[in-house]
């Protein structure tokens, strides 16, 4: 049944894509998707994804997560991709790349996010800079396409 709705790739690192372009529009429109079990509210989804991304980063990020030698340029570390694969999982990769996109898409009350955002900004920000710095995300390259 799922194969009729989504195109699934054999590579589990690839995102699940809707089989038909109108499917996301259908489930996000309450006037078309009348069964509340299947309706998806983009505003609520962005809030949940922003909050969960911050939780994942607050749990997984730390300064020098990749154990680079002090005062070393990223380009001088020979096994950068190996370190990334070993220490930065797919959830932390996604969260590091996408948290701010979800946060700015929230159109309602973000009071629940403030606690997690405060921890991130005061305790985890430098760890996040390291992850996005070695990933290419800062230059606009997608974080989730890390391959060696």
User: Which pLDDT belongs to residue 71?
Assistant: 84
Q: How many beta carbons lie within 10 A of that of residue 67, not counting itself? A: 9
User: Which pLDDT belongs to residue 99?
Assistant: 94
Could you report the per-residue pLDDT of 53-81, keeping only the tens digit for each?
Answer: 999 999 999 988 988 888 888 778 888 88
CB 63 within 8 A of CB 127: yes
| Beta-sheet strands, E only, within 1-148 | 6-7, 17-18
In whole angstroms, how far apart are CA 50 and each of 19, 57, 120, 126? Answer: 26, 11, 12, 19
The domain locations on the chain are 1-40, 42-145
**Cα–Cα distance measured from residue 10 to residue 16, given in angstroms and rounded to the nearest whole number:** 10
CB 55 within 8 A of CB 113: no
What six digits make up the tokens of 61?
Answer: 């990020």
Residue ranges of the chain whose pLDDT lies below 70: 1-4, 19, 136-148
User: Which pLDDT belongs to residue 143?
Assistant: 46
Q: What angle do CA 11, 14, 15 make, to 5 degrees?
A: 135
């Amino acid at each position: 049944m799922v194969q009729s709705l989504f195109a699934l790739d054999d590579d589990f690192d690839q995102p699940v894509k809707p089989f038909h372009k109108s499917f996301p529009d259908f489930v996000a429109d309450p006037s078309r998707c009348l069964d509340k079990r299947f309706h998806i509210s983009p505003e609520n989804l962005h809030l949940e994804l922003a909050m969960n991304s911050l939780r994942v980063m607050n749990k997984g990020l730390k300064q020098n997560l990749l154990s680079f030698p002090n005062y070393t340029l990223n380009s001088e570390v020979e096994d950068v991709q190996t370190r990334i694969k070993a220490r930065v999982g797919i959830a932390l990769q996604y969260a590091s790349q996408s948290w701010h996109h979800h946060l700015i898409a929230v159109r309602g009350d973000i009071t629940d996010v403030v606690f997690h955002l405060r921890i991130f900004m005061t305790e985890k920000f430098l760890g996040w800079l390291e992850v996005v710095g070695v990933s290419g995300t800062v230059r606009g390259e997608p974080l989730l396409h890390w391959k060696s």
